[in-house]
Structure 1
């Protein structure tokens, strides 16, 4: 058979597979390893080269998914990113991850940039969902999935932050704590800054805990250390509840620096379930979300959206309260 006359249909017949399988092979889609090797052998033997222009015109997909992440140094985000990437790789997709460093303008620009790169879909690990996000998502002709924040009118996978917060507040009350400090983040982050905080404060209010102080910090370890250091100069709460484990670890460091002990002098609770939180002594009481499951669900949902299959508008990820040893019963 002459090389110039060889077609994808010919390759399919020689390999004993459907033409669509050959098309997936050239477009980077999922093909069984055994079939992939068989196709490669035929292609190499006949030096077949697909028409790049025709291929690009016919290919409806690039088998590439864009992921916009607020940061790359977060333990919870990295868990989720690895799970998303692994799931999509097993489906024959490549991921392009763009870091925004919690910058909203950069986040919006990244979404638009990925769309111009002809990705098949975008997964946004959002710190906030604004009206601008919603407007941009409505203009895209590809699916966009928001993880960790709720996007009204869109498709979202969220953590059950309110009830996790409520369980933490209830546990604090059950351990008889009265003088409590809550270290939270800004309200721009709806999930962590609003819902998680509301859950904690509602539970404390329902348990008649009136001596609750709220301080606002950022997700930064350094910023949190500075704020808690200043607070501890004049106050000694019996318990500090922190919106993240990172903030809790900053508090732990400053409590130690002040010559105090956890939980003998100050009890401590976080959110996140970091591995390092179990390595400190005593181990940190924390909420662990199933980040790996969230990543797998994100990958699966994106595949369903691309295939135009029906999906739930909002999917909820559960949590586990790990009591550890950092909370003293009073």
Structure 2
């Protein structure tokens, strides 16, 4: 692999001269032509990360995700990466493993590495987040959550949940168990629950009960059988597709048929929800498209362009076999 040292030796100049050339510094025209010729002959490609660390302006966007094994995170990252490449930017990924302390440290770490901006997929926004984002001196965009003081790109969680609620009622369900997560996750824990509640306002004869679990794998296995035994709902509305698929397993373990005896819906639109049987009815969010949009929004922030504080990504209700009409 050709290095800057090799280019410098072949050109008969110092490594610092080659570095200045690569970072658009002051180099004589004759030396520029010589270095350009050698780079072309050797097929040398600069290390974008190392190059940007030495430059006044970097072409690296830091991204922080809560989980690397999450479908939503991975699809969002693909969208960000593909869009950044078209604009000659690179993506540097770190993950918090759903740990707030680690998330905060990741922000500090990316700033130390002189990224041009940070795209953050948080599970919640705390006062510490706000303080750090105000101090870092580079653009920060949050995706999937929102705060009035930070540029945000959100999925339309409230409206999606509202439409799911309307659909559930149109199928004749009156005893409904909504399986959500803690409110500190505003998008999943609050917006989806409140949108679902809104859809049932002023509707008589509906018995809907709200339950909480966590977003870690297996969080619903213990709570679902108890809900079935004590409440006997006709449908589970789960705040994520992962919770819905976990609920399916818990239901099958009790010997209950889906959807003949019990219906289930989710949120997310993960590819797996189409492959399982029965296919899961869900509110599909366009994570890859949202990632592309986030990348474009970030570049607008870096350029100092006028950018709205909140951008909303769309959704689509996918009707499959997991819901029975009563």
CA positional deviation for 1:69: 0.5
Q: Distance in 2 between matches of 1:209 and 1:187?
A: 27
Match status 1:237 vs 2:233: yes
Q: 1:230 to 1:40 in 2, by over 3 A?
A: farther
Deviating above 3 A after TM superposition, structure 1's stretches of 4 or more consecutive aligned residues are 2-8, 38-48, 55-58
Please name the residue that 1:129 is paired with: 125
Unpaired runs of at least 5, structure 2? 1-10, 25-33
Match status 1:118 vs 2:114: yes
The equivalences for 1:1-330 within 5 A come to 3-4=12-13, 26-27=22-23, 41-43=37-39, 59-330=55-326
Q: Distance in 2 between matches of 1:5 and 1:148?
A: 48
Whether the aligned pair in 2 keeps the contact of 1:161 and 1:196 (CA below 8 Å) is: yes
Q: 1:27 to 1:300 in 2, by over 3 A?
A: farther
Whether the aligned pair in 1 keeps the contact of 2:52 and 2:60 (CA below 8 Å) is: no
CA positional deviation for 1:201: 1.3
CA positional deviation for 1:255: 1.2
Which has the higher mean CA deviation after the structures are superposed, 207-216 or 146-155? 207-216
Q: 1:185 to 1:5 in 2, by over 3 A?
A: closer
Partner of 2:264, secondary structure, is: strand
For normalisation by structure 2, the TM-score amounts to 0.85
- Give aligned pairs, total: 303
Q: Distance in 2 between matches of 1:138 and 1:184?
A: 31
Whether the aligned pair in 2 keeps the contact of 1:70 and 1:102 (CA below 8 Å) is: yes
CA positional deviation for 1:39: 7.3
Partner of 1:87, secondary structure, is: helix
Unpaired runs of at least 5, structure 1? 12-21, 29-37
Whether the aligned pair in 2 keeps the contact of 1:220 and 1:247 (CA below 8 Å) is: no
For normalisation by structure 1, the TM-score amounts to 0.84
Q: Distance in 2 between matches of 1:142 and 1:151?
A: 17
Q: 1:281 to 1:60 in 2, by over 3 A?
A: same
Q: 1:91 to 1:27 in 2, by over 3 A?
A: farther
Please name the residue that 1:18 is paired with: none
Q: Distance in 2 between matches of 1:246 and 1:47?
A: 46
Q: Deviations over 1:152-176 (max 9, x none)?
A: 2221000111111110111111111
Q: Distance in 2 between matches of 1:289 and 1:269?
A: 14
Q: CA RMSD in A?
A: 2.9
